[in-house]
Structures are given as C-alpha cells and as structure tokens.
Amino acid sequence: MIQVTHLSKIYKNDSVETVAINDISFSIKKGEFVSIMGPSGSGKSTLMHILGGLDIPTKGKYTLDGQDVEKLTDDELAEIRNKKIGFVFQAFNLLPRTTAIKNVMLPMVYGGVPKEERFEKAKKFLEMVGLGDRLEHTSNQLSGGQMQRVAIARALVMDPAIILADEPTGNIASTQAAEIMAIFQNLHKKGHTIIMITHEHDIARHAKRIITMKDGRII
C-alpha cells in the first residue's frame, strides 16, 4: 500500500543544509500496525509528514495505493489527505474555541459529505472514543486525553484507510495513554493501516512491526 524508495528530505536554511531523511526505502502493507521509533531529530516526524502528503520529499519516490504522490496536484493531494489519511497530531491541533462536534465535522465539510449526515456521523465517532457526553464542549473545556480522543474521532470520521499518529500519547497522562492505545488496537482489528510515531518502548510494543530511525536512516 505504501512504497517508499530512496527517499530523502533536505531542508535548506540560508546556506546550511540539514538532511532530515537520508535515502530510505521501505514498504507497508494494508492493515499493518507499524511503529516508527527513534530519538528526536532522527527524521521520524518528517517521514510521517511526507507519508501523509503534508510535505514533499526532496528526492526519491513515494507511491501510495499505486499513485505516484509526486505527480499529484495540490488539490488531488488535499483530496487524499481528506479521504485516505487520518492524522492524529502530538499537539492535537483542534480548532480553538470550537466544540468537539464541530471539530469532528470539519473533514466532512471538505469531503462533501451531505450536511444532514454529518452530525450523526460525528456523534457516532465521538461516542466510539468515549466522548458521547462532551459533544458541545469546546477544546479548552477538555483535558489533554479528551482532546486527543476528539482528534482521533476527527481522523476516523472520513473512514480513511491509513491512520497516521505522531506521538499520540506524547502530551497526555499515562492512564489516558492506555485508553488511546486501546482505541488504536481496536482500529487495527477493524483493518485500518496504522502508522504511529513514538519514542516510548511500551507504546511502540502495541505495534506488530517497529521501524527504528536514527540520523535520517532506518537501522
């Protein structure tokens, strides 16, 4: 499903070149649960952004579902982010001062889901992550774990094939981390492809496969 060959990402800042990803190749099959591990600065976040179509590689080839991502237009890429990929960010990235239900409904606004269906669908996913009683709470009225669960509901609402999670438990308490991981396990059982970044070993252990990165390379 995901095929990466000789991929590199180089950031140029003035005259200084920073190699974030250095010529890596791997593939991930449909339905896999993969953890990407590594110390900070190892390039794992950059890799995740490229896999999610948020950033473009400097060199190499990235094929998603047989499509060469490099050849897609900006709008086609937006369509893929909307329909095929669900993001869970470390910093949650919810719309500020917006209710949980509106946050979850946002991808459906861009995805062309009929208006009437949006509320019920968003409610279903919020109930699934255990926030059925928090629909009208705004993000500042929620705890870190609750915000991350809203973000997961938002990532799932378009029923994407791939879920990308960047340190999903990094900013929340460890008791709530267990609940989040249980949700991911559940999604994995339902057949979603899950790619999760983490630097904690006991979180990474939930995955069936662990890719370890260091200095922009897979080791």
Q: Which residues bind other proteins (CB under 8 A)?
A: 49, 52, 54-56, 74-75, 78-79, 81-83, 87, 93, 95-98, 102, 106-107, 109-112, 115, 154, 158
Q: Where are the alpha helices (DSSP H) in the chain?
A: 44-51, 74-83, 100-111, 115-128, 144-156, 174-189, 201-204
Give the span between the Cα atoms of 165 and 147, in whole angstroms. 14
CB of 42 to other proteins, least distance (A): 17
Nearer to other proteins, 31 or 111 (CB): 111
The answer to whether 50 and 57 are in contact (CB under 8 A) is: yes
Nearer to other proteins, 51 or 218 (CB): 51
Cα Rg of the chain (Å, integer): 17
Nearer to other proteins, 9 or 207 (CB): 9
CB of 83 to other proteins, least distance (A): 7
CB of 82 to other proteins, least distance (A): 2
162 phi, psi to nearest 5 deg = -120, 135
Give the span between the Cα atoms of 59 and 55, in whole angstroms. 12
CB of 158 to other proteins, least distance (A): 8
Task: Determine the 3-state secondary structure of 113 from DSSP.
Answer: coil
CB of 87 to other proteins, least distance (A): 6
Nearer to other proteins, 52 or 168 (CB): 52
CB of 81 to other proteins, least distance (A): 5
Give the span between the Cα atoms of 102 and 107, in whole angstroms. 10
Nearer to other proteins, 42 or 82 (CB): 82
Give the span between the Cα atoms of 211 and 24, in whole angstroms. 11
Nearer to other proteins, 56 or 182 (CB): 56
CB of 175 to other proteins, least distance (A): 28
Nearer to other proteins, 157 or 204 (CB): 157
Work out whether strand 33-37 and strand 193-197 pair parallel, antiparallel, or are unpaired: parallel
Beginning with the edge strand found earlier in the chain, give each strand of the sheet holding 33-37 in spatial order. Answer: 85-88, 162-166, 193-197, 33-37, 209-214, 217-218
